Structure 1
Amino acid sequence: MLIVFRTSGVLLLGILLLMIGNGIMATLLGVRGAIEGFSTQAMAFVMAAYFAGFLGGSRVTPELIRRVGHVRVFAALGSLISAAMILFPVFTEPYAWVVLRLVVGFCFAGVFVTAESWLNNATPNETRGTAMSIYGVVMMAGFVVAQGFVARGDASGFVLFILPSILVSISFAPILLSVTPAPVFESSRPISLWEVFRASPLGIVGLFLMGGVFSALFGMASVFGTTAGMTAAQISTFVAAIYLGGMLLQFPIGWISDRMDRRVLILCVACVGCFAAALAGIGVGGYPGLLATAFLLGGMANPLYALLVAYTNDYLAYEDMASAAGRMVFVNGVGAVSGPFVTAALMDWVGASGFFVYIFVLMLGLSGYAVWRMSRRPSIATEETGSFTAVSPAASPVAMVYAQEAAYEADEEAAAAS
């Protein structure tokens, strides 16, 4: 771990600043939208635009990097993010926010692709798995820290919009001044989405469903808070509890996943997620109970994404993993784009608790499909499965590819040592 911080500490600091800025905006927009009188459906379009932009940016950025290089792409996209963040309080119209959020999502995808490439290039092979795990923790920590700024700031003013713009701008310095030349993107054997689905139906269906869960937790949590009548401080604490759970529970669940049938664990984690969503939906324990269930819900949802990725990789040849990573991110992204619309519709129909109804239905669907898939084919022996590597749903396909490589190298080393 010390080697990772020595070789990539400054780069990780830049990523932390990026995530604090991104986390502030994700919560702030929901609170400010309520102040401006935006409807729940209007906010659904705003939040969905980020995921649509991120999906597009993940696919376009590698080609941009091939044409003009990592530094130019990173600087250009980062500048656009910084400018867009300042414009939100200037153009307080839903359609303007949709466009700005689309731009921010597109640019953040490109920034992550570039930063993750540099992180991998700066990290020795023997510590790559540790580096990617630390990277995931840094991303979650950034979201948690961001909520402290939202809780103490004034969502009706300009300062909270200027702050993330400054943080994003400052983050360029440590990243650009510390990086080594990034590797060229190599083409991999193309593999279709249908081929990945045939290899792991549970993985693909699960990733689609978890895209909806992630977009609700990341995009609509603050909208839920305003609909429920919570203060800005209460909303930010609620959101922080979600990401704190995801950060703390990922590694224990990952450790367990390397020692048992992953399908059984996916089923168990999804069932716990159902239970947490149900408790939150009926308001057990008031606000303290809401925070506890938010922690548990985030702690189940974030590891489920990485679990489904690891489970899918168990059925893929190593040479297909890089191409399959893009397909998995695409499926997850499609689910994420549709999530805010369904969440908003349910919230309009049954009230604020519709937020948890949506998550409950998705988790229940994943649980049921996991049970059905367990009846369709036998599981792979635990000793033949690949290693679990923490991957955040907020990361780009590049992080997933490098996490896959780290897991594969760890398995190779373990096999050689045995």
Structure 2
Amino acid sequence: MSSVISIAALLAGSGLLLLAGGLHGLLLPLAGLAQGFSDASLGLLGAGWALGFMGGCLAVPLIVKRVGHVRSFGALASLAAITVLLNLLFIDAAVWIVLRAISGFCFSGAAMIVESWLNERSTAETRGRIFGLYTMINLAATTAGQMLLTLGSASGYFFFVLGSIIYSLSLLPTALSTAASPQPLTQAKLDPKQLWRNSPIAVVAVFMAGVSNGSFGTLGAVYGRHIGLDIPQIAIMMSLALLAGAMVQIPVGMLSDRLDRRLVLVGLAVTAMSLGSSLSLIGGNDPVVTIALIAAFGGVIYSMYPVIVAHASDHAEPGDFLRISGGLLLIFGTGTMVGPLLASGLMTFTYPGALFQVTAAAHLSMMLFAIWRIRQRAPVKTEDKSDFLPVLTTAQTTTPETVVLDPRTEVDETGGDI
């Protein structure tokens, strides 16, 4: 209990950051549609976010090294608040894409700084509890941010101003904290050869999961609007998908601890492919059926990333989990950048359900490669497996510091690169 009290302010700051991020992430595509932006432009919003997010993961550790944690967090949270308001001043798709990239940069950097404080406050005995509590708060805050849109119209100024206020409020817990600054932030680096040697299926699957999650996270609301759902229905739909993902991870994780994780991944891919194919065909004839299918779809696709990371961890040498999971994070981020571009282009030239044709193609590729790898490599024995841990992954919410906070990570005392 004392460990939770000591980090309450940091968790509050993180919750506010995720609350604003959840609101802003769902608001922009809906507001863009109301302004007449094309599906292709809305897809570029998602790609811009992913590009900025990965840029923040790479660059913010260098900024923090120069000016410190508190100043860096203040600058990033303030800039994030400003970009939300600039969306109101410049109603232009190209400007919004640039602003979305800046938002992604600020969000990832601010999240990394909060997580580095949490890492500093956690011990080997408390890290698991802190990681679990942090994941729960992030889930609740992101869901609450999306559900705020049930209270009004996405085409007005209210939610933009509210999002900016919440980003600004996230400054207070860290700005008023008397805690000493933590160690330097962890910087992710990509070593494709090491990742491929460790687990080829993890490399392919995490990229395809990024394509799927990025496409759905960016354009799911656009799909909902095109098939006739109203704003509250879309907010409920996207929130249920996220909540289902959190709930399904537990039984999926237990199953993957007992079976070959690649078989579990094949099962998830087949299920997601079937659900996606159904969604691409049914349209919006029955909103209840559509929302139920979307919830099931979210439950499946948001369960894939932690299974992939756990499988890669099974094959990692002692002390290599941090480096491998950090590399997988960058590959996942690349997928979240590519996915919205592919899906929005196909939606522009065909029909809204084409979104789920892209996700189905990604899951088919994942399934086929996993089946091939099952024939090439023996499964890991149950007693040699690492622990499965749930991870919240929407379009892009996991940073290198989240990986450090993961209890499976063996962290050195000085931080550094992964």
> Is the TM-score greater than 0.5?
yes
- How many Å separate the matches in 2 of 1:256 and 1:28? 36
- How many Å separate the matches in 2 of 1:399 and 1:390? 12
Aligned match of 1:413: none
Q: How far off is 1:296 after superposition?
A: 1.4
Structure 2 residue matching 1:255: 3-state secondary structure: helix
- Any conservation in 2 of the 1:8–1:123 contact (CA below 8 Å)? no
Asked whether 1:300 is paired with 2:300, we answer yes
Q: How far off is 1:309 after superposition?
A: 0.9
Give the TM-score of the pair, scaled to structure 1. 0.92
- Any conservation in 2 of the 1:89–1:158 contact (CA below 8 Å)? yes
Asked whether 1:59 is paired with 2:62, we answer no
Aligned match of 1:397: 400
- Any conservation in 1 of the 2:186–2:400 contact (CA below 8 Å)? no
| Gaps in structure 1 of 5+ consecutive residues | 410-418
Structure 2 residue matching 1:180: 3-state secondary structure: coil
Asked whether 1:381 is paired with 2:381, we answer yes
- Any conservation in 1 of the 2:77–2:170 contact (CA below 8 Å)? no
- How many Å separate the matches in 2 of 1:138 and 1:272? 28
Report which stretch shifted further, 186-195 or 92-101.
186-195
Q: How far off is 1:281 after superposition?
A: 2.1
AA paired with 2:111?
F
Aligned match of 1:415: none
- How many Å separate the matches in 1 of 2:260 and 2:375? 14
AA paired with 1:356?
F
- How many Å separate the matches in 1 of 2:72 and 2:45? 25
Q: Map 1:254-273; keep pairs closer than 5 Å.
A: 254-273=253-272
- How many Å separate the matches in 2 of 1:189 and 1:142? 26
- How many Å separate the matches in 2 of 1:39 and 1:79? 29
Aligned match of 2:413: none
- How many Å separate the matches in 2 of 1:355 and 1:3? 47
What do the CA deviations read for 1:68-123 (whole angstroms, capped 9, x no partner)? 21111111101100111111121000111011101000011101111111112222
- How many Å separate the matches in 1 of 2:263 and 2:174? 41
| Gaps in structure 2 of 5+ consecutive residues | 411-418
Percent identical across equivalent pairs? Answer: 29
Asked whether 1:339 is paired with 2:342, we answer no
AA paired with 2:361?
V
- Any conservation in 2 of the 1:246–1:299 contact (CA below 8 Å)? yes
Give the TM-score of the pair, scaled to structure 2. 0.92
What do the CA deviations read for 1:320-356 (whole angstroms, capped 9, x no partner)? 2222233111111111111111111221233111111
Q: Map 1:228-243; keep pairs closer than 5 Å.
A: 228-243=227-242
- What's the RMSD between the two structures over aligned residues? 2.0
- How many Å separate the matches in 2 of 1:122 and 1:255? 29
Asked whether 1:315 is paired with 2:315, we answer yes
AA paired with 1:168?
Y
- How many Å separate the matches in 2 of 1:347 and 1:187? 38
What number of residue pairs does the alignment pair up? 406
Aligned match of 1:42: 41
Asked whether 1:165 is paired with 2:168, we answer no
- Any conservation in 1 of the 2:118–2:405 contact (CA below 8 Å)? no
AA paired with 2:202?
G
- How many Å separate the matches in 1 of 2:250 and 2:143? 17
- How many Å separate the matches in 2 of 1:110 and 1:208? 22
AA paired with 2:371?
V
- Any conservation in 1 of the 2:81–2:164 contact (CA below 8 Å)? yes
Aligned match of 1:412: none
- How many Å separate the matches in 2 of 1:229 and 1:160? 22
AA paired with 1:401?
V
Greater helix share, 1 or 2? Answer: 1
Q: How far off is 1:401 after superposition?
A: 2.8
1:381–1:333 distance in 2 versus 1, CA, 3 Å: same
Structure 2 residue matching 1:113: 3-state secondary structure: helix
Asked whether 1:177 is paired with 2:176, we answer yes
